[in-house]
Amino acid sequence: MTQQLNTSNHDRNAAGMTYVYPVVSRRAGGVSIGINLNPNNACDWHCAYCQVPDLVRGAAPAIDLALLQTELEAMLKEVMHGEFMQQRVPADCRRLCDIAISGNGEPTGCRDFAAVVDVVVAMMQAQDLDIPLRLISNGSYADKPGVQQGLLQMAAHHGEVWVKVDSATAAGIKRINGVSLTPERLFHQVETTARLCPSWIQTCMAAWDGMPPSEHEVVAYLDFLRALKIVGVPVQGVLLYGLARASMQPEAVHLSALDQEWMERLAARIDQTGYAVQISF
């Protein structure tokens, strides 16, 4: 493995493995070992900013758990005891910050999700790893028993979820996430996830045809956060980020990065809702 990693390169094939890949994560702040449960590039959402090429609608396939375990063990050995950090990672990012169940689609669409969590937790315990186990999710399968079982297992082992909320209007969700979803259903997904496992809201903001999100969109988003606070949903805070890598979707022609001042103003307004906010550009 010789390819140099950076925050702009999240190639799921960087290690030549089916399920396991390393990235330098700007939000996690170091090397993240990713678990890709969607090698078929299938997702039930179609986010305009998604960097997955050849994205299709669908769910994750059945997972070869033995292969996943073998790959994860090999990657951890290389990262922790090999030359990986020195050869492939910038000097200021040479720390293992988490294992993240993420990848090329919605990972909780995997029917083996709970079993995957069991494999990862067992490997972390075997390696005596005291790092977070993170799930990057849109929350759409939060009501499935197998997903809830996996979330509870994560919670029991210091896991956390980064659950997606990019818009809190039906029109905004349709445009940005490519799915017909009511704000009420999105609220239910976030609430269900957060009550099962410690959760952060993950929000991507971008300009569309050169224009930032409207004030109507921003107010709806802030009201969504306030509503979570009112009913006591235990959300840890908000991870706010902008475009850092090019979208591979047809909608990419509409997207551009927002300026830092706009993002900082939004972060200040999020802070006023009572939630901690971390911002990445």
Q: What is the CA radius of gyration of the chain?
A: 18
- Residue scoring higher pLDDT (17 or 85): 17
Question: HEC string of 169-237?
Answer: CHHHHHHHHCCCCCHHHHHHHHHHHHHHCCEEEEEECCEECCECCCHHHHHHHHHHHHHHHHCCCCEEE
Q: How far apart are CA 179 and CA 274, in angstroms?
A: 29
Phi, psi of 151 (to 5 degrees): -65, -40
Structure tokens at 217: 């969109």
Please report the pLDDT score of residue 88 as a whole number.
79
Domain segments of the chain as ranges: 20-279
**Which amino acid appears at position 191 of this protein?**
E
Q: How far apart are CA 184 and CA 188, in angstroms?
A: 6
Across the range 140-148, mean pLDDT stands at 98
Q: How far apart are CA 26 and CA 6, in angstroms?
A: 9
Please report the pLDDT score of residue 10 as a whole number.
46
Q: Which CATH number does 20-279 carry?
A: 3.20.20.70
Q: How far apart are CA 32 and CA 57, in angstroms?
A: 26
Q: How many CB atoms lie within 10 A of CB 45?
A: 20
Across the range 146-156, mean pLDDT stands at 98
Q: How far apart are CA 50 and CA 76, in angstroms?
A: 27
* 13 band by pLDDT with thresholds 50, 70 and 90: low
Across the range 6-32, mean pLDDT stands at 71
pLDDT averaged over every residue in the chain: 92
- Residue scoring higher pLDDT (5 or 206): 206
Please report the pLDDT score of residue 9 as a whole number.
47
Residues recorded for the chain: 281
Q: What is the pLDDT of residues 171-187, one digit of tens each?
A: 999 999 999 999 999 99
Q: What is the pLDDT of residues 91-117, one digit of tens each?
A: 778 888 999 999 899 999 999 999 999
Please report the pLDDT score of residue 80 as a whole number.
87
- Residue scoring higher pLDDT (95 or 26): 95
- 265 CB contacts (<8 Å, ≥6 apart)? none
165 contacts 202 by C-beta, under 8 angstroms: yes
Alpha carbon of 126 to those of 35, 66, 73, 182, 195: distances in Å?
18, 16, 10, 42, 28
